[in-house]
Amino acid sequence: MSNSESTIKPWGGRFSEPTDAFVERFTASVGFDYRLYHHDINGSLAHAKMLAKVGVLTDAEFAAIQTGLEEIRADIEAGKFEWSIALEDVHMNIEARLTDKIGITGKKLHTGRSRNDQVATDVRLYLRDEIDTIAREITRLQSGLIDLAEAHADTIMPGFTHLQTAQPVTFGHHLLAWNEMLERDFSRLLDCRKRANQSPLGAAALAGTTYPIDRHYTAELLGFDKPTENSLDSVSDRDFAIEFCSFASLLMTHLSRFSEELVLWTSAQFNFVFLPDRFCTGSSIMPQKKNPDVPELIRGKVGRVNGHLIALLTLMKGQPLAYNKDNQEDKEPLFDTIDTVKDCLKAYADMVPAIQPKQDVLREAARRGFSTATDLADYLVRKGVAFRDAHEIVGKAVGFGVASGKDLAEMTLAELQKFGSVIEQDVFAVLTLEGSVAARNHIGGTAPAQVKAATVRARQLLATRK
Q: For residue 89, state whether it binds ligand ARG (rule: CB under 6 A).
A: yes
Between 313 and 354, CB nearer to ligand ARG? 313
**Residue 382: alpha-carbon gap to chain centroid:** 46
Residues numbered 100-129 forming contacts with ligand ARG, rule: CB under 6 A: 115-116, 119
Residue among 6, 16, 162, 284 flagged as catalytic: 162
What is the Cα–Cα distance from 61 to 247, expressed in whole angstroms? 43
Residues near 278 by Cβ (< 8 Å), separated by ≥ 6?
354
Q: 407, 401 in Cβ contact below 8 A?
A: yes
Which CB, 325 or 442, lies closer to ligand ARG? 325
Concerning whether 162 is annotated as a catalytic residue, the answer is yes
Q: Is 29 in the site for ligand ARG (CB under 6 A)?
A: yes
CA 439 – CA 170 distance, rounded (Å) = 12
Instruction: Give least dist CB 328 to ligand ARG, A.
Output: 4
d(CA 309, CA 141): 24
Between 205 and 361, name the residue whose CB sits nearer to ligand ARG.
205
CB of 121 to ligand ARG, least distance (A): 11
Q: How many CB atoms lie within 10 A of CB 356?
A: 11
Residues 230-259 that bind ligand ARG (CB under 6 A): none
Among the candidate windows 71-79, 299-307, 325-333, 443-451, which touches ligand ARG by CB under 6 A? 325-333
**DSSP letter string over 3-61?**
--TTPPPTTGGG-SSPPPHHHHHHH--HHHHGGGHHHHHHHHHHHHHHHHHTTSS-HHH
* Site residue total, ligand ARG (CB under 6 A): 10
Q: Which is nearer to ligand ARG, 118 or 142 (CB)?
A: 118
Q: How far is the CB of 52 from ligand ARG (least distance, A)?
A: 25
Q: Is 55 left (phi over 0), alpha (psi -120 to 50) or beta?
A: left
Beta carbons of 448 and 154 less than 8 angstroms apart: yes
Tell me the closest approach of the beta carbon of residue 144 to ligand ARG, in angstroms. Answer: 38
Encode 89-120 in three state secondary structure: CHHHHHHHHHHHHHHHHHHHCCCCCCHHHHHH
Residue 267 annotated in active site: no
How big is the CA angle at 422 (ends 392 and 435), to the nearest 5 degrees? 80
- Supply the minimum distance, in Å, between the C-beta of residue 66 and ligand ARG: 23
Q: Tell me: does residue 327 bind ligand ARG (CB under 6 A).
A: yes
Distance CA 238, CA 283 (A): 44
Please report how close the Cβ of residue 332 comes to ligand ARG at its closest, in angstroms.
11
Q: Choosing from 2, 4, 267, 283, which is the catalytic residue?
A: 283
Tell me: does residue 315 bind ligand ARG (CB under 6 A).
Answer: no
Taking the least distance from each CB to ligand ARG, the nearer of 175 and 315 is 315
Q: Write out the residues near ligand ARG by the rule CB under 6 A.
A: 29, 33, 89, 115-116, 119, 323, 325, 327-328
Give the residue numbers marked as catalytic.
162, 283
